[in-house]
């Protein structure tokens, strides 16, 4: 009886209390929405002087938010950027501006920011060794390209401090076309608000950032939108995803990655009869991949026994794998298998982003590695560096998490190209080709790491050759490092020099 009365009392209490609480929550929600509607973008401004490429440059840094709006004037997103502008430039036509971003999708711009182009850089081991724990060395970066261009480092929605606003959702920005549209809109706003419409304009991306850059060529240069680019800077490019999908019946990825296998085997001294330097060995593998291996994969089961033995023997030479393993794999070794298999006898794996790195797995008999040694070898150093720089040097007072490489955008990415009819894979290379045909000044720079198993350089070469891109307006450079070639000091120095020259040549 006591328990029945108690339950009745609670029920009566709730029946009277719930409406009151609901009303209070409603008022609270409305108050929060009103506050959100009145929210203003935060901007943090500081001035510095630095020496870049032996030139003294006084510059202003603006780290802050830009609000995107819909056609009704409602806020839809906040884009966080760090912008570097040289002081004392009266004529904007004499000063290029470069918009910089990383990839993922779902990555903030810290890698290019703190690794190569920004005025500060984090120092990590140059020889493919683990960077360990803090404190990390964060130093002035005389290699920064701030002497030849202003820069805006962009964090797309869902990365860094960038976020949705109002009634918007992540899916409104997470997709091939959705993402490019939002970045293009930010660029137009920035050009307007800063009086830079008549400045030479470049976009620079790494990894998926090169996919974004290719899509941006279309988004920005469509008729009457009015943003003609002077150049696209592609670092570790992935512009044709047909070459990235190791799937049954798709031979292109195996052909595309073979020269990178050769470079990796050359580096770890597992290749047989290898050339004296990596570039020569890579060229041998490139010719074999184009002229023999690709034909063999096309023939498939139609290969004769003698033809197959010839391919097996040469694959063993270039990959450093055993002939037995290659036969068992039917002449097709996927990238993740290669990373585990190459140094299995040594109890090591090789890195995906940079195959110079080696890791150790708990289970040496497994099919794939536990984790990418080239990722966990440097990520903590970059995360610490960007957070330290933003909060301690630039005085950005946000306490929310700066999202480095958040998985949510990637898991929910809309890869649709918008093509009608048959399903299609992502290929933005034709946009670059069309962009060049419709803009005589558009040029493209590609930076390729020999040891990059994530975005192999031969795949980039093939995409450039097959999609109407003018080879006379393409600069193709190579580095004895991986995906983030700037973690290797000689490659860092070469990359900075090459990009500086690319921009400088465009202004002659």
> In the predicted model, what is the mean pLDDT of residues 475-504?
98
The whole-number pLDDT of residue 225 equals 74
256, 445 in Cβ contact below 8 A?
Answer: no
The whole-number pLDDT of residue 30 equals 43
User: pLDDT, tens digit, for every residue of 114-161?
Assistant: 999 999 999 999 999 999 999 999 999 999 999 999 999 999 999 999
- pLDDT band (50, 70, 90) for residue 423: confident
User: pLDDT, tens digit, for every residue of 60-112?
Assistant: 999 999 999 999 999 999 999 999 999 999 999 999 999 999 999 999 999 99
Domain 43-242+379-506 belongs to what topology? Rossmann fold (3.40.50)
- The DSSP line for 150-191 is EEEEEE-TTSBT-EE-TT--GGGT-BHHHHHHHHHHHHHHHH
CA distances from 79 to 377, 395, 397, 428 (A): 29, 18, 16, 24
* % pLDDT > 70, the chain: 92
CATH 3.40.50.1820 domain residues, the chain: 43-242+379-506
pLDDT at 21 over 90: no
Give the Cα-Cα-Cα angle 252, 425, 339 (nearest 5 degrees): 45
Q: How many CB atoms lie within 10 A of CB 325?
A: 16
pLDDT at 33 over 70: no
User: pLDDT, tens digit, for every residue of 301-328?
Assistant: 999 999 999 999 999 999 999 999 999 9
The whole-number pLDDT of residue 22 equals 39
Q: Residue 49 has which token pair?
A: 């002087």
User: pLDDT, tens digit, for every residue of 437-471?
Assistant: 999 999 999 999 999 999 999 999 999 999 999 99
The whole-number pLDDT of residue 421 equals 66
The whole-number pLDDT of residue 6 equals 35
């Amino acid at each position: 009886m006591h328990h029945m009365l108690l339950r009745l009392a609670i029920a009566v209490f709730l029946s009277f209390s719930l409406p009151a609480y609901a009303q209070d929550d409603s008022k609270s929600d409305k108050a929060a929405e009103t506050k959100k509607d009145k929210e203003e973008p935060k901007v943090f401004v500081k001035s510095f002087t630095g020496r870049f490429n032996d030139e003294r440059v006084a510059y202003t840094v603006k780290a802050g938010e830009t609000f995107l709006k819909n056609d009704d004037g409602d806020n839809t997103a906040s884009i966080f950027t760090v912008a570097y502008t040289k002081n004392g430039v009266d004529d904007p036509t004499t000063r290029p501006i470069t918009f910089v971003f990383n990839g993922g999708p779902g990555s903030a711009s810290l890698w290019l920011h703190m690794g190569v182009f920004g005025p500060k850089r984090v120092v990590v081991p140059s020889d493919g060794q683990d960077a360990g724990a803090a404190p990390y060395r964060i130093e002035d970066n005389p290699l920064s390209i701030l002497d030849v261009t202003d820069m805006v480092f962009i964090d797309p929605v869902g990365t860094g401090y960038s976020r949705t606003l109002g009634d918007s959702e992540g899916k409104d920005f997470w997709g091939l076309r959705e993402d490019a549209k939002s970045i293009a809109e930010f660029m137009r706003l920035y050009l307007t608000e800063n009086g830079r419409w008549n400045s030479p304009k470049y976009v620079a991306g790494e990894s998926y950032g090169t996919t974004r850059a290719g899509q941006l060529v279309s988004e920005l240069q469509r008729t009457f939108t009015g943003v003609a680019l002077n150049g696209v800077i592609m670092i570790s490019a992935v512009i044709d995803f047909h070459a990235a999908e190791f799937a049954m019946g798709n031979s292109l990825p195996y052909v595309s990655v073979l020269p990178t296998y050769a470079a990796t085997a050359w580096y770890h001294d597992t290749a047989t009869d290898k050339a004296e330097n990596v570039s020569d060995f890579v060229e041998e593998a490139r010719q074999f991949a184009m002229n023999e291996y690709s034909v063999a994969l096309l023939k498939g089961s139609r290969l004769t026994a003698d033809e197959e033995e010839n391919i097996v023997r040469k694959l063993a030479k270039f990959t450093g794998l055993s002939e037995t393993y290659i036969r068992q794999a039917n002449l097709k070794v996927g990238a993740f298998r290669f990373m585990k298999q190459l140094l299995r006898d040594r109890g090591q794996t090789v890195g995906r982003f940079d195959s110079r790195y080696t890791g150790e797995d708990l289970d040496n008999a497994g099919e794939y590695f536990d984790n990418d040694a080239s990722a966990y070898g440097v990520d903590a150093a970059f995360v610490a560096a960007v957070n330290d720089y933003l909060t301690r040097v630039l005085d950005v007072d946000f306490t929310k998490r700066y999202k480095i490489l958040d998985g949510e955008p990637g898991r929910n990415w809309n890869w649709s190209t918008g093509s009608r009819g048959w399903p299609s894979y992502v290929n933005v290379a034709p946009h670059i080709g069309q962009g060049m045909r419709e803009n005589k000044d558009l040029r493209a720079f590609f930076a390729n790491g020999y040891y990059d198993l994530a975005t192999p350089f031969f795949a980039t070469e093939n995409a450039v050759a097959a999609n109407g891109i003018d080879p006379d307006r393409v600069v193709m450079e190579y580095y004895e490092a991986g995906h983030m070639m700037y973690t290797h000091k000689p490659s860092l120095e070469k990359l900075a020099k090459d990009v500086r020259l690319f921009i400088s040549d465009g202004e002659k």
